[in-house]
């Protein structure tokens, strides 16, 4: 852009497109003679009487000389003999220029045309002095420095005008002619500085104001170009802050102008304690007042610095090798700065992803969690449930977590889990509430209606360790970014549901073994045969439920997540895929469907009640085998077979025990009723949740499913 203020003065008739820059080159000192009529006037001889006489007392030619001399002073914000500066009443920051009323009207009119330029200079100059203070911020400093450079150019123009005037070659029309090109630019800058001062803004707000003003002046190419140049100069300091953030992950913002805020009170250790993962979401966050030219990529800029900070927290200092082509020197129309930011993001993202996946083995940790919390390898669990049966059967207040932990360690060391290098990170815990009540913490997944349904469920009285037992996992930085406390809580909810289903299955298997012990008896048509059929139906239900949970939900969803993580481009994508996997598993495992969950819990409770009563039901259906020999747990099964064998030979079957028959019929009726009522709910829910069709087919059978 050709600066209007940089117009060199040769003569009033010189075309503006032939004008040179306004610096004093010595060209005018080479003029040895002038023929101007103003050269013969002795200005100094008139100075002695100017203060005593009104300007109207002089001839028009003399008045013109006096006015030009005063206007040259006014252009630099200095009062003249007949041009004064007045403060606007009620507005201390505004001034106005006034002329002597006795001045020639034509001269007054020309002088008043130049006054806006004088006022603009005065206000801009005052703005430069005030905004150069440290407390005003780096953007204001840079803007003030650019304005100061412009004012120096402007002052050089005034000096050249004065030089022409001293040579007698400048008329008031010529002065107006040379001031016009600068008028629009100075007024536009004055308007900007007035808004900055009036609103006391700094940082990105100043850049946004300059940009919006430049767009508003689209019809005036010279003014628009000047404002764009000012915007670029003012943004240099801001781009310096941005460079350190995207290339080093450091916020070097002494005046709080950057659009990214750091909450130093949040520590990475909180990821293992905070369900809402505030550290990852709020340690660095976007503030209001994002520069317009960065608005569309603000999220990318935030993420780039966050990734660099994670690596620095790991002691892995990585800095993008910055070439001259990647430096953020400007944000011109070629959008090169966008390419630089994108390159910085790609670098930091790939480096952090490589660090987490390779050095810290994220997938290995997730596989280990799958083995234990999703029961992928259940041999350790079977052993643990055997040795911890007595402790888990106690009430919550009577359970020793330390004892459970030692039993868990024994189970891990004596099974295939010992080969897992991460098995030492596994710990046990006992929750203080039942599974349905624990779901209340998942407010981010459960809508208000569902949450109400969950809260309406009655809390079981006196729950034991079997309902409250859970496993936990020690996750260290930086893997805690992905496997946060929130994620672990979801894993634990799934584990508790699976663990209790496994417990129900084990109890029913025990009842089935009791029934198998009397198979040699002729029990057709007795209550035992009916009880055996009921036990088989219950086992089919719980086995179908476990098969659905493991092979229809957890395993397929795990493989989908695994494949997605392998192709992820950033750690945020990994977090997204992992969270999606957990949320999908929670829903498909019925944990977010209260109506279905309530029915399943009721059926499991019936199975446990029946399994507990099975021994009594069978022993009451036959004559007990009387033996005076002391029992031995190791040969108990042999004694039972011998006892039942003797009974088969001579014992009398008790087929008319009405109490036993009534109990079995009661269990059967209640179980079938609950199972039948589950059918319509499953089939109705499967219309919105197709995956429930598989569960309905497994539990109810294909024919029954088609009937509903």
The secondary structure of the chain in percent helix, strand, coil, rounded to multiples of 5, reads: 65, 5, 30
**pLDDT attached to residue 275:** 61
- Is 28 a member of any domain? no
Q: Find out whether 216 and 227 touch, Cβ atoms under 8 Å.
A: no
Identify whether residues 596 and 548 lie together within a single domain: yes
Please give, one letter per residue, the 3-state secondary structure of 426-448: EEEEECCCCHHHHHHHCCCCCCH
Q: Which phi and psi angles does 264 have, rounded to 5°?
A: -75, -15
DSSP category for residue 182: H
Identify whether residues 350 and 386 lie together within a single domain: no
DSSP of 226-258, one letter per residue? HHHHHHHHHHHHHHHHHHHHHHH-----TTS-S
Highest mean pLDDT among 80-94, 338-352, 652-666: 338-352
Question: H or E stretch including 575?
Answer: helix 571-588
Give residue 20's pLDDT band: very low, low, confident or very high (50, 70, 90).
very low
From CA 91, how far away is CA 155, in angstroms rounded? Answer: 27
Give residue 50's pLDDT band: very low, low, confident or very high (50, 70, 90).
very low
| C-alpha 462, offset from chain centre | 41
- Percent of the chain at pLDDT > 70 equals 77
From CA 203, how far away is CA 258, in angstroms rounded? Answer: 7
From CA 42, how far away is CA 233, in angstroms rounded? Answer: 46
DSSP of 292-306, one letter per residue? GGGGGGHHHHHHHHH
DSSP category for residue 630: P
What is the biggest distance separating any 2 CA atoms in the chain, rounded to whole angstroms?
Answer: 154
Q: What is the pLDDT of residues 159-214, one digit of tens each?
A: 999 999 999 899 999 999 999 888 999 999 999 999 998 888 998 999 999 999 99
| Number of other CB atoms surrounding residue 41 within 10 Å | 14
DSSP of 463-510, one letter per residue? -BHHHHEEEEE---TTGGGTS-HHHHHHHHHHHHHHHHHHHHHHHHHH
Please give, one letter per residue, the 3-state secondary structure of 60-118: HHHHHHHHHHHHHHHCCCCCCCCEEEEEECCEEEEEEEEECCCCCHHHHHHHHHHHHHH
Identify whether residues 474 and 435 lie together within a single domain: yes
Q: What is the pLDDT of residues 660-697, one digit of tens each?
A: 788 888 989 999 999 888 888 887 877 777 888 878 77
Nearest alpha carbon to residue 91 among 119, 68, 60? 119
**Quick one: average pLDDT of 561-589?**
94
From CA 105, how far away is CA 145, in angstroms rounded? Answer: 39
Exposed/middle/buried for residue 441 (C-beta within 10 Å: 0-12, 13-18, 19+): middle
- Is 198 a member of any domain? yes
Identify whether residues 490 and 375 lie together within a single domain: yes
From CA 160, how far away is CA 175, in angstroms rounded? Answer: 11
Ranking 3-17, 299-313, 514-528, 579-593 by mean pLDDT, the lowest is 3-17
DSSP category for residue 58: S
* 395: three-class secondary structure by DSSP: strand
**pLDDT attached to residue 575:** 94
Q: What's the CATH number where 484 sits? A: 1.20.120.1900
- Is 7 a member of any domain? no
Identify whether residues 421 and 562 lie together within a single domain: yes
**Domain ends where: 149, 177, 202?**
202
DSSP category for residue 24: -
Q: What is the pLDDT of residues 367-420, one digit of tens each?
A: 999 999 998 877 788 889 999 999 999 888 889 999 999 999 999 888 887 888
- Is 47 a member of any domain? no
| C-alpha 678, offset from chain centre | 41
Q: Which phi and psi angles does 581 have, rounded to 5°?
A: -60, -45
**pLDDT attached to residue 13:** 39
Higher pLDDT pick, 93 / 71: 71
Task: Determine if the peptide bond prior to 478 is cis (ω within 30°).
Answer: yes
From CA 705, how far away is CA 532, in angstroms rounded? Answer: 25
From CA 285, how far away is CA 150, in angstroms rounded? Answer: 37
**Quick one: average pLDDT of 618-631?**
51
**Domain ends where: 202, 224, 254?**
202
DSSP of 505-537, one letter per residue? HHHHHHHHHHHHTTTTS--TTSHHHHHHHHHHH
- Is 457 a member of any domain? no
* 14: three-class secondary structure by DSSP: coil
Identify whether residues 135 and 275 lie together within a single domain: no
Residue 388 CA: distances (Å) to CA of 405, 464, 508: 10, 13, 18
E-strand stretches of 130-271: 260-262
Pairing type for strands 83-88 and 91-99 reads antiparallel
Nearest alpha carbon to residue 415 among 455, 385, 453, 454? 385
**pLDDT attached to residue 321:** 64
Counted domains in the chain:
3
From CA 509, how far away is CA 575, in angstroms rounded? Answer: 40
pLDDT at 579 over 90: yes
Quickly tell me which residue has 């429930």 as its tokens: 692
Residue 78 CA: distances (Å) to CA of 23, 113, 196, 503, 522: 21, 17, 24, 95, 124
pLDDT at 269 over 50: yes
Identify whether residues 321 and 344 lie together within a single domain: yes
Q: Find out whether 618 and 518 touch, Cβ atoms under 8 Å.
A: yes
**pLDDT attached to residue 56:** 80
Residue 155 CA: distances (Å) to CA of 75, 94, 123, 479: 8, 21, 15, 62
Higher pLDDT pick, 638 / 69: 69
Identify whether residues 120 and 197 lie together within a single domain: yes
Identify whether residues 416 and 492 lie together within a single domain: yes
From CA 641, how far away is CA 513, in angstroms rounded? Answer: 12
Q: What is the pLDDT of residues 132-141, one digit of tens each?
A: 887 888 999 9
Identify whether residues 339 and 418 lie together within a single domain: no
Identify whether residues 379 and 483 lie together within a single domain: yes
From CA 225, how far away is CA 211, in angstroms rounded? Answer: 11
E-strand stretches of 271-412: 284-286
Instruction: Compute the CA torsion angle 381, 386, 392, 398 (nearest 10 deg).
Output: -130
**pLDDT attached to residue 703:** 46
Domain range for 131: 55-202
- Is 222 a member of any domain? no
Nearest alpha carbon to residue 516 among 490, 542, 536, 486? 536
- Is 20 a member of any domain? no
Half-sphere exposure of 177 (CA within 13 A, CB side): 16
| Number of other CB atoms surrounding residue 61 within 10 Å | 11
Identify whether residues 367 and 409 lie together within a single domain: yes
- Looking at every residue in the chain, the average pLDDT score rounds to 80
- Is 645 a member of any domain? no
**Domain ends where: 339, 359, 379?**
359
pTM over 0.85: no
């Amino acid at each position: 852009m050709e600066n209007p203020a940089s117009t060199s003065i040769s003569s009033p008739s010189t075309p503006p497109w032939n004008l040179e820059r306004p610096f004093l080159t010595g060209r005018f000192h080479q003029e040895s003679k002038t023929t101007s009529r103003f050269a013969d006037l002795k200005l100094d001889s008139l100075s002695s009487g100017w203060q005593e006489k009104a300007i109207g007392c002089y001839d028009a030619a003399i008045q013109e000389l006096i006015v030009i001399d005063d206007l040259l002073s006014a252009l630099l914000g200095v009062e003249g003999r007949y041009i004064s500066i007045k403060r606007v009443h009620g507005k201390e920051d505004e001034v106005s220029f006034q002329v002597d009323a006795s001045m020639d009207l034509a001269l007054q009119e020309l002088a008043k045309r130049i006054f806006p330029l004088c006022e603009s200079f005065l206000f801009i100059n005052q703005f430069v002095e005030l905004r150069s203070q440290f407390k005003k911020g780096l953007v204001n400093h840079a803007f003030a420095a650019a304005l100061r450079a412009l004012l120096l150019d402007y002052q050089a123009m005034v000096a050249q005008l004065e030089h022409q005037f001293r040579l007698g070659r400048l008329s008031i029309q010529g002065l107006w002619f040379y001031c016009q090109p600068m008028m629009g630019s100075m007024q536009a800058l004055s308007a900007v500085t007035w808004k900055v001062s009036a609103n006391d803004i700094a940082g990105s707000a100043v850049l946004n104001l300059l940009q919006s003003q430049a767009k508003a002046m689209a019809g005036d190419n010279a003014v628009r170009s000047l404002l764009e140049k000012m915007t670029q100069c003012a943004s240099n300091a801001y781009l310096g802050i941005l460079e350190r953030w995207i290339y080093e992950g450091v916020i070097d913002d002494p005046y709080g102008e950057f659009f990214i805020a750091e909450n130093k009170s949040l520590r990475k250790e909180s990821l293992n304690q905070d369900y809402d993962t505030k550290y990852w979401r709020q340690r660095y966050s976007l503030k209001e007042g994002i520069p317009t030219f960065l608005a569309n990529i603000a999220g990318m800029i935030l993420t780039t610095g966050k990734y660099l900070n994670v690596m620095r927290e790991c002691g892995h200092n990585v800095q993008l090798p910055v070439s001259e082509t990647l430096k953020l020197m400007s944000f011109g129309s070629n959008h090169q700065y966008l390419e630089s930011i994108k390159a910085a993001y790609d670098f930091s993202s790939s480096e952090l992803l490589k660090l987490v996946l390779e050095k810290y083995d994220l997938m290995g940790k997730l596989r280990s969690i799958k083995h234990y919390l999703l029961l992928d390898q259940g041999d350790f669990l079977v052993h643990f449930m055997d040795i911890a049966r007595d402790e888990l059967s106690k009430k919550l207040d009577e359970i020793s977590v330390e004892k459970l932990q030692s039993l868990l360690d024994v189970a891990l060391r004596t099974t295939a889990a010992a080969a897992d290098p991460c098995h030492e990170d596994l710990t046990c815990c006992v929750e203080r509430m039942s599974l349905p009540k624990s779901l209340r913490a998942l407010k981010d997944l459960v809508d208000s209606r569902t949450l109400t349904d969950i809260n309406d469920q009655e809390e079981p009285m006196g729950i034991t360790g079997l309902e409250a037992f859970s496993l936990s996992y020690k996750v260290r930085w930086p893997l805690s970014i992905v496997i946060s406390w929130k994620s672990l809580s979801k894993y634990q909810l799934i584990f508790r549901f699976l663990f209790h289903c496994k417990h129900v299955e084990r109890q029913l298997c025990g009842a089935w073994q009791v029934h198998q012990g009397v198979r040699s008896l002729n029990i057709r048509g007795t209550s035992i045969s009916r009880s055996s059929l009921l036990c088989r139906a219950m086992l089919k239900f719980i086995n179908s439920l476990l098969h659905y949970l493991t092979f229809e939900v957890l395993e397929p969803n795990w493989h989908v997540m695994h494949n997605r993580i392998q192709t992820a481009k950033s750690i945020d994508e990994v977090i997204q895929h992992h969270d999606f996997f957990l949320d999908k598993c929670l829903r498909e495992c019925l944990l977010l469907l209260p109506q279905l969950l309530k029915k399943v819990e009721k059926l499991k409770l019936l199975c446990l009640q029946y399994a507990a009563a099975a021994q009594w039901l069978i022993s009451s259906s036959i004559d007990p085998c009387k033996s005076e020999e002391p029992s031995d747990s190791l040969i108990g099964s042999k004694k039972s077979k011998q006892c039942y064998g003797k009974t088969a030979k001579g014992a009398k079957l008790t087929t008319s025990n009405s109490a036993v028959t009534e109990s079995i019929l009661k269990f059967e009726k209640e179980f079938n009723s609950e199972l039948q009522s589950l059918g319509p709910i499953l089939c109705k829910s499967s219309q919105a949740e197709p995956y429930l069709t598989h569960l309905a087919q497994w539990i109810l059978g294909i024919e029954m499913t088609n009937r509903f």
